[in-house]
Amino acid sequence: MTVFSEQVGLQNVYTPLPLNIHIIFSIFATIVLLIQFVRKNRVCYLLAAMAIDATLITHFTFENKNVILVLEIIELALVAGCIIDIAIAYVKKRKKLRDEKKQKSLLESQQKEREKKEVISDADVLDKAFDSELNDFDNSEK
């Protein structure tokens, strides 16, 4: 651990990773999040990628407290945007599921009504099926 910290030099207190590792992590995370953004078309992935990439600023200006304060505010805004996007997607999904459930129950009730009518019409057909034969039989006896 001491060898690792000696190689780094003056350590950034905001990001415990050395610059090289931080850049590699940021590139990897950005690629993964951009792929997810393209696949799912959700803004939260783009905001998360921007938040991760913004942390690279701390390696160059970690002594300037004003820049760090602005960066913290930007990071909070990006995280809040992610949370809002996730909440909106959750509400939309719940509404879609509720609408699908209503549609399914409506279709089931319509199907039951049709089946009920078919049962009644089948009973009528069976009742009337032999009426003409009986009438013919009655007429032939006379």
Summarize pLDDT for 75-100 with one digit per residue, the tens: 999 999 999 999 999 999 999 999 99
DSSP letters spanning 12-34: PSS--S-HHHHHHHHHHHHHHHH
Global model pTM greater than 0.85: no
- Angstrom distances, CA of residue 36 to CA of 15, 47, 49, 86, 128: 25, 12, 10, 14, 65
User: What's residue 20's pLDDT?
Assistant: 86
Summarize pLDDT for 52-61 with one digit per residue, the tens: 988 888 877 7
Where in the chain are the domains? Answer: 2-116
User: Residue 97, CB half-sphere, CA atoms under 13 Å: how many?
Assistant: 6
